A and B are shown apart, each in its own frame.
Chain A
Amino acid sequence: MKEKFNREEAIIQQYLQEYQFFYRLAYSYVHNEDDAMDIVQESVCKALSAKDSLYSKEYLKTWCCHIVINTATDLLRKRKKEQIGVEEFLLSEQGERDTNYENIEVMEMLAMLKEKDRVILILRYFEDMKLEDIARITSENVSTIKSRLYRALKQLKIHISV
């Protein structure tokens, strides 16, 4: 059974309360303020018109997060500049600097990862979300998420143990 609550109000409040979280996430895709703000705003629109597919309050945050990610990837796809964007970003900000990871800024490091690996790393280690929630957000199973995490950490040369 679908839970009954005021969906519109809950959705807007969710985005308002955690707008910094959604903004950071959007920024990690587009690397500029204006696009990141647009993504969050458009996500609210999308979420409101899709409010009936939100089954329970419990999933409000993962649901909203899912929409932000989709909106961000849509935008990148639309402009077909994802690859160029990342390269430009690396060139312009990193330039000839040495490749010692300690000297590289976090967004530059993240830009080196595959899109899907990056978002999982962010949600897990920066935003401290549970693997199950991340699985829900990315529509993938937990073991896939784990293998992506391993790969991302390995690529960033961060040592882990199981």
Chain B
Amino acid sequence: MKENKDIMLMKDGEKNLEQMKKEYYAYQAPEELRERLEKMAKENKKKTTKIKFVRIGTRVLGGVAAAMAAITLLANSNQDIAMAMQKVPALGQIAKVVTFRTYKNDTKGFEANVKVPEIEGTDSEAASKVNHQIEDYVDKLIAEHEDFIQNNETSKDKYGEMLTNKKSLYTQYTVLTDTDRLLSIRLDTTIVMASSNAFSQIYHIDKQSDKEITLKDLFKKDSDYVNFLSKDMKKQMREQMKADENIIYFIDSDDMSELDFDKIKENQNFYVNKKKQLVLVFDKYEVAPGYMGQVEFTIDSSVWNDALSSLGESILK
């Protein structure tokens, strides 16, 4: 382990802090607090805690939807999952994205609200593949959540201790892009425990080739996209940190360099914004301290010269 150099105080600074410390200590708790805590100590010896599970009923809208929901219910044995079929008025498009089901849990301390999207109204292979992936992804989140509720003592954070037994799970989806060529769906998940975590998963379908696509498909096969995108990001990180001292990324740190950002993942989350720019998306803690939240970097088109694949060109130009 590395030795942590502590911060040493100089004389006038010390005096100032000493003064503050004295004033700080002058805030004394009223006697009442002590009495309240002692009372709790006594009462605690008798009390046992109970966890209440709340079941959400099935809610179905519309006749046609009812039949579909019945089929889905048969396929899905988990009775805790509440279904809500929802129609989205998006006529005229080949595929539409609807809320396929909603998983809810209202138990205090274990709240969950997961909206599961599905691409429907299409016989696209890629769409059904993505639907499956979304299902798997969400099922895993839900399973983890239910697991946590059942034996919440096994969860620990990165230091191996001190998680309060609370966890809430929220997953929302957004249709980021729906053009003639590209359909992108983003799932945003927030998990709140002792501290909160936030991460996303974005799915893209190339409507023309009916294939699911990831970042690598935007570039030519032999292109070095991981490196030139990472390089541009590092440049942006340094510029932002220089311009604003409140911004911190995991980069160029003296004593924690093993945690520093090195390069993006081959299939890093991304989306294409309205200006047809490439935006790379990072989960909380992935490249910055927690308080920075989820961060995104917009990459300028000058970075890739002629490395775009034909798909990339049609989407980003």
Q: Roughly how many angstroms separate A162 CA and B160 CA in the complex, as a whole number?
A: 31
A54-108 with Cβ < 8 A to chain B: 54-56, 59, 62-63, 66-67, 70, 101, 105-107
- The stretch of B33-41, B182-190, B295-303 in contact with A is B33-41
Given A49-B49, A125-B21, A158-B16: A54 in contact with B162 (beta carbons within 8 A)? yes
Contacts of A149 in B (CB 8 A): 7
On whether A37 and B29 interact (CB within 8 A), knowing A50-B164, A53-B155, A158-B17, the answer reads: yes
**Given the contacts A55-B156, A106-B20, A109-B20, A140 and B289 also touching, CB distance less than 8 Å:** yes
Helix, strand, loop or mixed for chain B's interface? loop
User: What are the residues of chain A within 8 A of B163 when measuring CB–CB?
Assistant: 50, 53
Q: Flag the segment in B123-131, B217-225, B253-261 that touches A.
A: B253-261
Q: Which of A37, A45, A146 contacts B33 (CB 8 A)?
A: A37
- In the bound complex, CA of A6 to CA of B184 (Å): 52
Report whether B10 and A139 are in contact in the complex, using a CB–CB cutoff of 8 Å.
Answer: no
Q: Among A19, A40, A62, A126, which residue has its beta carbon within 8 angstroms of that of B20?
A: A126
B5 is an interface residue with CB less than 8 A from chain A: yes
Q: Report the nearest B residue to A31, measured CB to CB.
A: B27
Nearest-neighbor residue (CB-CB) of A150 within chain B: B7
B213 within 8 A of A: no
Residue numbers in B under 8 Å from A161 (CB-CB): 8-10
B239 within 8 A of partner (CB): no
Complex contacts, B248 vs chain A, CB 8 Å: 144, 147
Q: How far is the CA of A37 from the CA of B256 in the complex (A)?
A: 38
- Chain A residues near B277 (CB, 8 Å)? none
**CB-contacts of B250-269 with A (<8 A):** 253-256, 259
Q: Does B180 contact A (CB under 8 A)?
A: no
B interface residues with partner A (beta carbon < 8 Å) = 4-10, 12-13, 16-17, 20-21, 23-25, 27-30, 32-34, 36-38, 40-41, 44, 49, 152-153, 155-166, 194-195, 245-246, 248, 253-256, 259, 289-291
A residues in contact (CB < 8 Å) with B:
8, 12, 15-16, 19-20, 23-24, 27-28, 33, 36-37, 40-41, 44-50, 52-56, 59, 62-63, 66-67, 70, 101, 105-107, 109-110, 116, 122, 125-126, 131-132, 136, 139-144, 146-147, 149-151, 153, 156, 158-162
